[in-house]
Amino acid sequence: MAFFLFLFAVVMASLSAKLDPLKKFGRIDVYFTWTAMIIVISHLLTWKGAVASMSSSVLFTFAFADATACALTNSGAVGVMSDVITACAGGQKWAVLVLLFLILSVVTNFINNNTTSILFRECAFQLAVANGTTEYLV
């Protein structure tokens, strides 16, 4: 049952851009939030079971990575990183992508992939905006 609710959330999220009545919901996280609430309310998963399945090390990793990413953004370090990557790539869009990929490949050898994605999320967005590829951003 939980699988079908999850599948329903994904389908509704993908259809939200196509169907006018669903556009009012806008963000995909709304569907996942509703799915989680339905799963808990219908007792498919109890709060105790949900809490027991969470690893404290994973939660701390995400919490600290998000705080560090916020600090990088607020301090201006993300802007400096995106400017350096753009300058090193010589303004070529493909070179920016390759350089970002290489940097992320090296960084993921030292910290886990999820933390890397959180830390470099804003930098990737700034690079996309700087290179005029914002039509692909959602």
pLDDT digits (tens, 9 = 90+) for 8-27: 665 665 555 556 655 555 55
Whether residue 100 has pLDDT greater than 60: yes
Phi, psi of 26 (to 5 degrees): 70, -65
More confident residue, 128 or 48: 128
pLDDT, position 14: 57
> Per-residue pLDDT averaged across 19-42, rounded?
66
Q: Please, what is the Cα angle at 123 between 92 and 17, to 5 degrees? A: 90
Q: Give the pLDDT band of residue 44 (cuts 50, 70, 90).
A: confident
* N-to-C CA span, the chain: 30
**pTM over the 0.95 mark:** no
